Structure 1
Amino acid sequence: MTPFSESKSVQLYEVSFIDSWFLCLNPIKRLLLRFMRKSSYGAKDALQRHIVYSFGDHYYVRKELKILNLLTG
């Protein structure tokens, strides 16, 4: 039995929901994405990693996931 990190068929999806109106402003968003892309390249996992960022109001998504506290990470 092999661990997930050694499996070729396992993919990791990370979704970051960014609700802050300030971080959704276009110049700030571009700067933030550039910084986050640079930091994600350093990860050397065997897993296929996909990182997605979603900007805006995600109240209904958080409600379905029962994450109503905005300070929850």
Structure 2
Amino acid sequence: MSRERDQEHLRRDALTAFLDEREREGYRVESHTHTQAVIGPPDRRRSLRGLLRKPGSLPRQVVSVDRDGHVSVGPAEPLRS
């Protein structure tokens, strides 16, 4: 495989692993590409911790992965109603 293809797989695997972990924590994946995703906060009704959390305390987040497989998270725009 070429180096470029190796990096593509590294990025994809890193993002998938990160998102899998967040989904186990109750987060929902709203959108997803090979290098970026938007995740929403956990459903408060799905866990005891969620019931104790203030509504809106965890904002939507943009998850990105760089070419070296490092994942970063930042705030996403709020949903428009």
Larger Rg belongs to = 1
Question: Normalising by structure 2, what TM-score?
Answer: 0.29
The higher-RCO structure (CA 8 Å, 6+ apart) is 1
Q: Which has the higher helix share?
A: 2
Question: Normalising by structure 1, what TM-score?
Answer: 0.32
